[in-house]
Structure formats: C-alpha cells, structure tokens
Amino acid sequence: MDEKPIALVTGANKGLGKEVARQLGKRGLSVYLGSRNWARGEEAAGQLIAEGLDVVPAQIALQMMKASRHSPGSFNASMAGLTS
C-alpha cells in the first residue's frame, strides 16, 4: 500500500506559505498548514479544502520553533502533534 506524502508548511495561513501549501496539495501531498494563530490557520485550511485539497490546520507554537533552532533535530513529528 502506497502512503500519501506529507508536508508541514509553516506560516501557511497567508501569502507565500499559503501558496506553497496550495501547490503541494495540488501535487497530491497531504499538507499540514502551520500557523501561530489557530483561527487564521483554520480559515486558510478551509479555503484550500474548498479547492479540493487534503489540508489539515496545525498550530505551531513559537517555543517549538525556538527549540528547534538551538538544538538541531529536536523538532520532530511527535512534538508537532503529527504522530500519536
């Protein structure tokens, strides 16, 4: 069974990040649309879902981003809530 590729796009509730999420979705990826503001992320995800794309809103905590900059490899899928 082939699994669908997954992308996490940060800053994807507007502008370039949103367009990157859109283009990845159009290429068949499942996209986690990351944003710091949950409401804006949900709204942007809803717009892309209405276009027929596989998009899930994901709130990105600034603390996780800071941690990943200071210790390479510390940011992973489980920290982002992408795995159980």
CATH number of the domain within which 47 lies: 3.40.50.720
Give a yes or no: residue 13 inside a domain: yes
Higher pLDDT, residue 68 or 29: 29
Give a yes or no: residue 10 inside a domain: yes
Give a yes or no: residue 76 inside a domain: no
Nearest to 75 by CA among 5, 66, 84, 32: 66
Nearest to 58 by CA among 23, 12, 24: 12
Domain, as residue range, for 40: 6-70
pTM: 0.72
Give a yes or no: residue 64 inside a domain: yes
Q: In sequence order, what are the beta bridge partners of 32?
A: 8, 56
- Tell me how far apart the alpha carbons of residues 64 and 30 are, in angstroms, rounded to a whole number: 22
Give residue-wise pLDDT tens across range 1-32: 568 899 999 999 999 999 999 999 999 999 99
pLDDT of residue 54: 97
User: Binning pLDDT at 50, 70 and 90, where does residue 46 land?
Assistant: very high
Higher pLDDT, residue 74 or 27: 27
Query: What is the tally of structural domains in the chain?
Result: 1
Give a yes or no: residue 82 inside a domain: no
Give a yes or no: residue 84 inside a domain: no
